[in-house]
Amino acid sequence: MNIIMLLVWILILFAVVMLHVAYATYFERKIIGHMQVRVGPMRVGWHGLLQPIADGVKSFFKEDIIPENADKPTFLAAPIICLVAMMTSLAVLPFAKGWVLADIDIGLLFIFAMSSLASYGVVLAGWASNSKYSFLGGLRSMAQVISYEISMGLSLVGVMLMAGSLNLTQIVEAQGDSFLGMYLMPQCIGFFVFFISMLAETNRVPFDLPEAETELVSGYSTEYSGMRYAIFFMAEYIGMMVMASIATICYLGGWNGPFEVALFPPFWFVLKVYLFMFLFIWIRATLPRYRYDQLMDLGWKLLIPLALANIVLTACFRAILA
């Protein structure tokens, strides 16, 4: 019985997240459209509301092309590795009090482990496609993810120190439900580092070098088509959502808000996650792309020292106050 309930919960979460991914693309196209004084998708449904469904149906019926000299098993497995790694990290996210599939003690580490696995999907896609554009995109993505994973992990150590736990539910509860309890203010350096690393981890503008259209066509996903391309797309948007959720949980107090919404407990959580999603899109609409050496300099010479300093500072304050 317990297992059946768990399966039902997993199915609900899966359906909700998939709908979210579909409408996040709509959200992005509409916002960028309005920021660039266009209207965005308008044709399918009222104000283009059915556009994501149409896109999904289209990509589902497109031909699935596999390049002749591709390494077939790896080529087929790469998008699945990406999606599975991203989907797995959804299991430990607490959407509201008690609204979590697996409340494990190493929640934060689990998310790191899964996001580092997702980079395998990208790099294997680049290698297996047997195309120069894909390969360069894969290599860039790998170097970028390794570098920024370090600064992201280090920036969250401050949060771990303050909450005294790796369990995501306990991190939210340690922040309390007051405005000043949020770790955004005491951990402002950590949040700064985390936010930039978050953009780089999800390969978003201004760090979208792995799929820089002007130089690499479409990067690691150049040779993919149809449903497999759509899977990469889904993995990217789920990755954005996971990162936004981590930022919400660790810095913005998770599901706590000014007042409780009894009908829908994750109300504030969803609102904060969408705030971050909006930031992602806003940055995409405004900032130009970094150069590769600037990207590496920023990661290794600025963010990692800052994150280390943040750990020392937080630990000192903890030692003095405790």
Partner 1 sequence: MFLQLFFIYCALMIVASGVLAISLRNPVHCVLMVLVLFFHMAGLYLTLNAEFLAAVQIIVYAGAVLVLYLFVLFLVNLREELHIDAFIPSPWLGRGIATGLALALLAVLPSFTPGSKGQWSVEAVREMTHTVVMGQEMYSTYLLPFEIAGLILLVALLGGLVLARREENSFEALTKEAISSGCACTQSKEVSQ
Q: Of 17, 24, 100, 123, which lies in the binding site for partner 1, with binding defined by CB under 8 A?
A: 123
> Which of positions 125-144 make contact with partner 1 (CB under 8 A)?
127, 135, 139, 142-143
The answer to whether residues 111 and 194 touch, using CB atoms and an 8 Å cutoff, is no
The count of chain residues that interact with partner 1, using the rule CB under 8 A, is 24
Q: Of 25, 119, 131, 144, which lies in the binding site for partner 1, with binding defined by CB under 8 A?
A: 119
CA atoms within 13 A on the CB side of 26: 21
Nearer to partner 1, 111 or 244 (CB): 111
The answer to whether residues 126 and 194 touch, using CB atoms and an 8 Å cutoff, is no
Nearer to partner 1, 51 or 129 (CB): 129
Q: Of 9, 23, 99, 120, which lies in the binding site for partner 1, with binding defined by CB under 8 A?
A: 120
Using CA atoms of 118, 288, 248, 17 in order, give the dihedral in degrees to the nearest 10: -50
- SS3 state of residue 225: coil
Q: What residues contact residue 302 under an 8 Å CB cut-off, 6+ apart?
A: none
The conformational region for residue 165 under phi > 0 = left, psi -120 to 50 = alpha, else beta, is beta
Residue 192 beta carbon to partner 1: minimum distance, rounded to whole angstroms = 23
**C-alpha distances in Å from residue 222, one per residue of 37, 65, 135, 207:** 29, 11, 10, 18
Nearer to partner 1, 48 or 239 (CB): 239
Among 38-46, 102-110, 171-179, 250-258, which window interacts with partner 1 (CB under 8 A)?
102-110
Alpha-carbon torsion (285, 288, 289, 290), positive or negative: negative
Vertex 42: Cα angle to 39 and 45 (nearest 5): 150
| 146: contact with partner 1 by CB under 8 A | yes
Q: Of 101, 106, 157, 279, which lies in the binding site for partner 1, with binding defined by CB under 8 A?
A: 106
In whole angstroms, give the CA distance from residue 113 to residue 156: 14
In whole angstroms, give the CA distance from residue 268 to residue 245: 11
In whole angstroms, give the CA distance from residue 224 to residue 157: 37
State the binding string over 65-84 for partner 1 (x if CB under 8 A, else -): ------x--x----------
Residue 64 beta carbon to partner 1: minimum distance, rounded to whole angstroms = 22
Residue 139 beta carbon to partner 1: minimum distance, rounded to whole angstroms = 6
In whole angstroms, give the CA distance from residue 171 to residue 254: 9
| 110: contact with partner 1 by CB under 8 A | yes
| 166: contact with partner 1 by CB under 8 A | yes
Largest CA distance in the chain: 64
What burial class does residue 120 get, using C-beta atoms within 10 Å of its C-beta: 0-12 exposed, 13-18 middle, 19+ buried? middle
Residue 116 beta carbon to partner 1: minimum distance, rounded to whole angstroms = 3
Among 121-129, 196-204, 262-270, 275-283, which window interacts with partner 1 (CB under 8 A)?
121-129
Residue 249 beta carbon to partner 1: minimum distance, rounded to whole angstroms = 17
Both tokens assigned to 200? 């780089």
| 28: contact with partner 1 by CB under 8 A | no
Nearer to partner 1, 42 or 308 (CB): 308
Nearer to partner 1, 184 or 296 (CB): 296
Residue 112 beta carbon to partner 1: minimum distance, rounded to whole angstroms = 5
Binding site for partner 1 (CB under 8 A): 71, 74, 104-106, 109-110, 112-113, 116-117, 119-120, 123-124, 127, 135, 139, 142-143, 146, 149, 153, 166
